[in-house]
Amino acid sequence: MSSVKQFQVTFDCAEPERLARFWCEVLGYVVPPPPAGFASWDDFNRSQAPGDQGSWFACSDPSGVGPRLYFQRVPEGKVAKNRLHLDVRVGTGLVGEERLAALEAECARLVPLGAVRVRLLLADDDNESCLVMQDIEGNEFCLD
């Protein structure tokens, strides 16, 4: 049996390009070049049937290490808590006040991009502190 070498994380969403560009800013990801034969993503979208225009978008880790993120438009909105979320690891190896400062600094960077601060979960006997956030479509993620 072969082992999986790559995977992508797929988001159901209302506005694929807008959400992808948000996550590019959060993670330092990049938008890949448009498909072959197209000078821009706008040109590609104009070539699609009206109902398919802007129906998906993707971004990737420029280093090639992290998973590709894929965003697909769906008709229904988000109605419940995510069953899966991303942990954005900004405090790895930090503890106490130093960790809290790193989490707060990243939160301050992301809020102007449209992220929403939900709550701070303080360290306990089993876990370090983390900060629960929401992206621009209300999907939960943690600054960890």
Residues ≥6 apart with Cβ < 8 Å to 75: none
Instruction: Point out the least confidently predicted range of 3-12, 64-73, 85-94, 108-117.
Output: 3-12
The parent domain of residue 114 ranges over: 86-143
Q: Is the pLDDT of residue 3 over 80?
A: no
Instruction: Tell me the pLDDT tens digit for each residue of 27-42.
Output: 999 999 999 999 999 9
Is 3 within the bounds of a domain? no
| The total number of structural domains that make up the chain | 2
Pairing of strands 68-73, 8-13: parallel
Of 73, 105, 123, the last residue of a domain is 73
Q: Are residues 61 and 99 in the same domain?
A: no
Predicted pLDDT of residue 20: 97
Predicted pLDDT of residue 1: 65
Predicted pLDDT of residue 65: 93
What is the Cα gyration radius of the chain? 17
Is 96 within the bounds of a domain? yes
Of 73, 103, 129, the last residue of a domain is 73
